[in-house]
Amino acid sequence: MHYPLFILPFDHRSGLAKEIFGKKYPLKGKDVEVARDLKMIVWEAVQQTLAEAEKAGTPGILVDEDLGAQVIEEAKAKGVVHIVSTEKSGSDLEFIHGDDFGQALLEVKPTYAKVLVHYNVGEEAVNEPQREKLKRLADFCSSSNIPLMLEVLTKATPTDPAPVIASLRELIEHGIIPAIWKLEGFSSVESWHKLAEATDVPIIMLGRGESASAVESWTKAAAQSGVVSGFAIGRTIFLDALKRFHNEEISRETAVKEIAKNYLHFIDVWKRNASV
């Protein structure tokens, strides 16, 4: 894999249902087809950027099977890095396909499998069963040649990486070692260096739906650090355009162009700061 990775995640399901439809996931009826079309808009935007993005690194997408199955198939056919979610949306860690997650991954055979976990050291009633599930998934991915991207969300702040570091160390101690960590953003180079010291595995930065200014700050620090292998920025890039398109305030073409522009903007932020 050629780093840095520039991932545009749009595997959001519960968040998409709430923020655009004002409803709970799973969506029903015609809303399902509308949501699938919204995901196609993001994918169309990514396709417009591929030639430019590939000059700086490896572009890719993170999407879900439920609303993004067509996107996955098209990305696979085009040879675009495609990461597929394994966890249910809007709940404690449960796999979409239950104990059949392995067979499902073998059928999709994505570039990476991704799992998200909320993990805070000391919360053993929650952590122990989650570790058991993560270990099974990590072991399966390792034996099946499907690299695992593990997204860890903690109670960290953009100025304090200590909770993330503690979580990584505990997961590693229990033999849970992904191919890539997908971690919260930090606003200082020093914080990224501290994180990198805790693991030998590549790290990419996530956006967590924050404002463009906040995510720019994290992206600059991550790029300048020299120890971060890319980013995964989603809602900051696509959400506003999808909302306005859904509300019939802008055209589909405009929504695609705005998402493409936003995606390339963060790639440019990375490029400019990686050379500092």
The tens digit of pLDDT for each residue in 14-32 reads: 999 999 999 999 999 999 9
Cα–Cα dist 117/168, whole Å: 12
Cα–Cα dist 53/148, whole Å: 23
Return the percentage of the chain with pLDDT > 90, whole number. Answer: 94
Q: What is the mean pLDDT of residues 109-115?
A: 98
The domain defined by 5-274 folds into TIM Barrel (3.20.20)
* AA letter at 244: R
The tens digit of pLDDT for each residue in 118-170 reads: 999 999 999 999 999 999 999 999 999 999 999 999 988 888 999 999 999 99
Give the least confident one: 88-97, 106-115, 246-255: 88-97
* Dihedrals phi, psi of 168, to nearest 5 degrees: -60, -45
Report pTM. Answer: 0.96
The tens digit of pLDDT for each residue in 28-42 reads: 999 999 999 999 999
Cβ atoms of 156 and 164 within 8 Å: the answer is yes
Chain length of the chain:
276
Cα–Cα dist 148/196, whole Å: 18
Cβ atoms of 42 and 99 within 8 Å: the answer is no
The tens digit of pLDDT for each residue in 74-110 reads: 999 999 999 999 999 976 899 999 999 999 999 999 9
Cβ atoms of 115 and 106 within 8 Å: the answer is no
3-state SS, residue 111: coil
Q: Where are the domains of the chain?
A: 5-274
**In whole numbers, what is the pLDDT of the chain averaged over residues?**
96
- Number of Cβ within 10 Å of residue 108's Cβ equals 17
147's tokens:
């690299």
Cα–Cα dist 206/49, whole Å: 20
The reported pLDDT for the residue numbered 158 is 85
